[in-house]
Amino acid sequence: MEDCIFCKIIAGQARSWKVFENNFVYAFLDIHPANKYHALVVPKKHYKNIFDIPEEEFLEVMKVVKKLTTLYNTKLGIENVQIINSSGSEAQQDVFHCHFHIVPRRLGDGQDVKWITHPEWVEEYDRMLLDIR
């Protein structure tokens, strides 16, 4: 896609700090890092989000996520990470090229993700399962 920053990065038309590359996937340090070594893992082909990416290419991306988290653990001693994907604007996706964040975490880093939970919805689980089966 012409206007996609990640496509420009993959094509070498925009600067990046490459961590890993193979035939299917490109991984680079995030230009807006939440923590040191915050990386993005993207398919080389443009897919808007997780709903668009074919399973085979999704698996290639996940292999690289695993490879990099293992590298971070063995080379840097990082033992805590968040793997984050946002698909859709209401899920806070802001670059519409499927991507996964690897965010190293440490106690007190100020990057706490807080969710509002709804334990009352447990009562609806039987019906909810019928909706997705």
**Mind telling me the catalytic residues?**
99
Q: Taking the CA atoms of the chain, what radius of gyration do you get in angstroms?
A: 17
- Give 106's contacts (C-beta < 8 A, 6+ positions apart): 35, 80
User: Please, what's the largest Cα pairwise distance for the chain?
Assistant: 52
The edge-to-edge listing of strands for the beta sheet with 100-104 is 18-21, 25-29, 39-43, 100-104, 81-84
Q: Which residues pair with 26 in a beta bridge?
A: 21, 42
Q: Using an 8 Å Cβ cutoff, are 24 and 43 in contact?
A: yes
